[in-house]
Structure 1
Amino acid sequence: MEKKKRGFWRWLIASVMLRLILIYLPKTFNLASRPEISTPLVSLRRLAEGYWLKKSSMSPYAGSMYHGSPLLLSLLGPLTVKRIEGQPDHLLCSDGDDSLHILGYSLVFVIADIISALLIRATGHTLQMAYRQSLNSLDIVDLFKSSDSLSSGDVAALVYLWNPFTIAACVGLSTSPVENLVVILALHGACKGLVPLAAFGWVMATHLSLYPAILIIPVILLLGYGPDTPPRKLFLQKGYGKNGDNHSSDNCGQQETNHSKAEVTFSWRPVIHFLFWSSLWSTYVLVLCSISVKPHGSLWEMFRRTYGFILTVEDMSPNIGVLWYFFAEVFDFFRSFFMIVFHLNILFMILPLAIRLKHRPCFLAFIYIAISSMLKSYPSVGDSALYLGLLGLFLDELADMQFSFFLLCGYIGVSLLSPVMHNLWIWRGTGNANFYYATGMAYACLQEYGCSFTEDSDLYSFSLPPPPTIIILQIILVVESVSAVLNHDRKLRKLSVTKLRDGNS
């Protein structure tokens, strides 16, 4: 055990050193200008522009540059200013020659990545312990024998730290590490039963990027039911089977029935506390935002320039998503209709997924994050880094997942092709927008496949609009992961029934 811990900390320190080396390199490979990393919502260059407007006694939302939170502007804005003696303040983002100054403010994102990895690790340990206890109560704990390798929490944390997408978002002057941190904070607080922490993480995540609002469902399920377990009807079957066999042992039967009910009962008390704390944190955030924007604007302007900007897809600069190209080509007469269709696609999947996966709320959160990162208005590789890190939490359940090698090759191929196609289109002029959009389609399809479940997954099939290459990867990833988890549950059901029959005989 000690050897495993030492190995984990060595890999963590090595990942930090790699980030610092890449940050210190001059120009940092110009990652801050890559459309896969910096979007209108997470670009630190735009944040620096908004801070300059604020310091110049203007609204940070004047013009069309900044569309983020005023709180994030107050926290990170001062770090983007380089003060030179005898000269006026210069925005750091417009002068990248001072590597030491870059290292100073980039440490914020490095620290955010480290904290996120440690929270993922702690969440993984909580999920693993709860799942082992559930298997033990079903007398099938021997299904997963302990191995000498790292635990699922350690693996998930290291996957998050060493994921090239995570490193690129950290080094490329993107605020995605901060947004990922508050999402992970909400899931960690819900898994641990820390209601104020879960509410704070969910409120801040929703405030920063809007789409995490749908995570309220898995968070409530985590607080009400607890961490992921096998299907709850297995506990009922086991309790009823024992009661039927031991007519003479009334006390034993009553004990098993009570245990089964305890496994199935939904606890409303932590949910009510969560709603209370969420209201409290939301009020506090709105008050702070009002104070921040009051001298030069209003809360209504903030909502219009942040959430309205997200929902109306005003900026159609290229990114790895599916909306920019579509709305650049669609007629204005149909724009509102298709905006509603695209946004409702996310909402239509929430209820069926929650009903089918309510016994695995943490895995449900992973699915929601993957779907929203695929269909959101301005996606970046930082969004993919989050759900790929959470994927490592479910090593046992996804052991039989298909197309793993294909997914790995797909992500590598898209990561290499995307900058090439962008260069051919923008700089060399030998290609067109379809070249770059094709890589985006492949990427999204690798995720979006998870939203059109097959009959084998016991879910209805959802029809989505034609996606861009990064989307194909997302489709396959989500569908195959859900299918693997449902097959895992079927395997547990068979083992449980076999145990009951053996006990009866």
Structure 2
Amino acid sequence: MALELAFAVAARAVLVLSPLGSHIQDDNQLSSQLTSYSRLQEGIYLFRHGIDPYSGGSFRHSPLALSLFSTVIPTSRIHPTLLWTFCDAVGAWALVNIWRSRSNTQKSGRDMRIAAFYLINPYIFLPCLALSTSTLETTLQLLTLLFASRGQSSLSLLTLAIVAHLSLPAILLLPPILLLLLSDPQSHLASPRSFPFQQKFRKCNLLFLEFGFFFVVLVFASALVTGGWGWVRNTWGAGFLLPDLTPNPGLWWYFFTEMFDHFRPFFLMVFSLHLTIYVVPLCIKFQHDPLYATFLLLGVLGTFKPYPTLSDPGLFLSLISLFPEIYPYLRYPIVTALLHLHAFLLLPLFHHLWIGTGTGNANFFYASTLVFGLANGGALLDCVWAGLRVAIGEENDRWVVTQE
């Protein structure tokens, strides 16, 4: 497997180093206002010249990224390209090892297929090619799942705190990650059982406090780097206030472009709270398989977060390879796949008609994002249904065997 994976990563690096990357670096579908490498370079330039990059309204990256790229990582074209390629390779490695933890094996025939499915996924590959920092967030999320699957609580909570610091909606993954750390990553979809909350309550509180400690340390480190708290409004506040309505593949930007200012605060509150309502029901319903609950919450974030890129649903779709037991119970996999193919072709086409040639308008591109949202929502609902249906199917199979 190592040889095939090395070849795939090398071929990927050649494409990343090609001139194509510079042409799509500022594509709104691949890089959002919070993940654009061009905006990161602008903030680094201001920071190095003694100007607070958060004093304006365009720089929205985390102070962690600002300090890392302004001191440790050179900003020439070659170094970030190699870093992004390396991060994707680490993500593929982490995904394979999550599967090994779930299947309780050291090596399996699915390893190469899982890695290949991740590396050739265009939703994962194209943001990497565009140097979107969403690629770094995706890798950290996979490492969080890997450490949690192995029971390495401190490493898992630390990486989750870093991801949440880079992209605040990721903090919603904390409850299922805590459940995963208190149980095991193996599949229990076919045999649901109650989670022993009372027995694990004390340890859960300790893990929560540990995460809080990591998160608070990162917050104060960021304030120390920037010399104040102005970064909070420009980074985390952007997800609540939506100050930048540059088009993206999400469902927020057009709605608030057309929104009257009088109603804007109310609907910002509704849209923000909407993300949180899925956490408790999914964690309760899939308490017997917290890895699957985390997978579903990643699908929710990929569909409904305020500033998404293709990386967000790409991670959700890549994780489907970890759950082969749900495949027989998916109701409309062909329809969902065709919807994604349709959206994948419509998004760049309608964006070009609107921005490139001027023969379209904002409704063209938003229509394609609605198709994209429908594809993501269809995949998410299908996976919820299949995850619930596994147990019923297994019971029916056992009943048929006993009758025979």
**Structure 2-normalised TM-score?**
0.92
Moved more, 37-46 or 338-347: 338-347
Provide the residue aligned with 1:426 in structure 2: 355
Provide the residue aligned with 1:218 in structure 2: 176
Which amino acid in 2 is paired with 1:156?
A: I
Provide the residue aligned with 1:167 in structure 2: 125
Residue pairs, 1:246-325, within 5 angstroms = 267-268=200-201, 270-294=203-227, 298-299=228-229, 301-325=230-254
1:438 CA displacement: 0.6
Query: For 2:7, which of 4, 8, 14 is the aligned residue?
Result: 14
1:415 CA displacement: 1.4
Q: 1:191 to 1:435 in 2, by over 3 A?
A: same
Which amino acid in 2 is paired with 1:287?
A: F
Query: For 2:113, which of 155, 158, 164 is the aligned residue?
Result: 155
Query: For 2:65, which of 72, 89, 104 is the aligned residue?
Result: 72
Q: Is the 8 A contact 2:303 2:373 kept in 1?
A: yes
Query: For 2:36, which of 35, 43, 49 is the aligned residue?
Result: 43
Which amino acid in 2 is paired with 1:103?
A: I
Provide the residue aligned with 2:382 in structure 1: 480
SS of residue paired to 1:488: helix
Query: For 1:493, which of 385, 388, 395 is the aligned residue?
Result: 395
Provide the residue aligned with 2:300 in structure 1: 371
Distance, in Å, in 2 between the alignment partners of 1:158 and 1:266 is 40
Structure 1 stretches lacking a partner, 5+ long: 1-7, 82-91, 93-100, 131-147, 237-261, 443-469
Query: For 2:257, which of 324, 328, 332 is the aligned residue?
Result: 328
Structure 2 stretches lacking a partner, 5+ long: none
Higher relative contact order (CA 8 A, sep 6+): 2
Distance, in Å, in 2 between the alignment partners of 1:235 and 1:313 is 41
Q: Is the 8 A contact 1:191 1:222 kept in 2?
A: yes
Moved more, 472-481 or 275-284: 275-284
**Structure 1-normalised TM-score?**
0.75
Q: Does 1:180 pair with 2:138?
A: yes
Distance, in Å, in 1 between the alignment partners of 2:215 and 2:192 is 39
SS of residue paired to 1:37: coil
Deviation string, structure 1 residues 300-326 (Cα, Å, up to 9, x no partner): x11111111111111001111111111
Q: 1:14 to 1:265 in 2, by over 3 A?
A: farther
Distance, in Å, in 1 between the alignment partners of 2:400 and 2:64 is 56
Provide the residue aligned with 1:455 in structure 2: none
Distance, in Å, in 2 between the alignment partners of 1:388 and 1:495 is 28
Distance, in Å, in 2 between the alignment partners of 1:234 and 1:375 is 28
Q: Percent identity?
A: 27
Deviation string, structure 1 residues 200-258 (Cα, Å, up to 9, x no partner): 1111111110111111111111122322443697679xxxxxxxxxxxxxxxxxxxxxx
Provide the residue aligned with 2:85 in structure 1: 110
Distance, in Å, in 2 between the alignment partners of 1:116 and 1:337 is 38
Distance, in Å, in 2 between the alignment partners of 1:234 and 1:176 is 34
Q: How many residues align?
A: 403
Provide the residue aligned with 1:390 in structure 2: 319
Deviation string, structure 1 residues 126-161 (Cα, Å, up to 9, x no partner): 11129xxxxxxxxxxxxxxxxx9833x543332111
Q: Does 1:196 pair with 2:130?
A: no
Distance, in Å, in 2 between the alignment partners of 1:266 and 1:161 is 41
Q: Is the 8 A contact 1:230 1:492 kept in 2?
A: no
Distance, in Å, in 2 between the alignment partners of 1:265 and 1:125 is 30
Deviation string, structure 1 residues 23-54 (Cα, Å, up to 9, x no partner): 22225361112110011100010011111111
Residue pairs, 1:432-443, within 5 angstroms = 432-442=361-371
Distance, in Å, in 2 between the alignment partners of 1:264 and 1:399 is 31
CA RMSD of aligned residues (A): 2.5
Query: For 2:94, which of 119, 122, 125 is the aligned residue?
Result: 119
Provide the residue aligned with 1:207 in structure 2: 165
Distance, in Å, in 2 between the alignment partners of 1:79 and 1:225 is 37
Which amino acid in 2 is paired with 1:288?
A: A
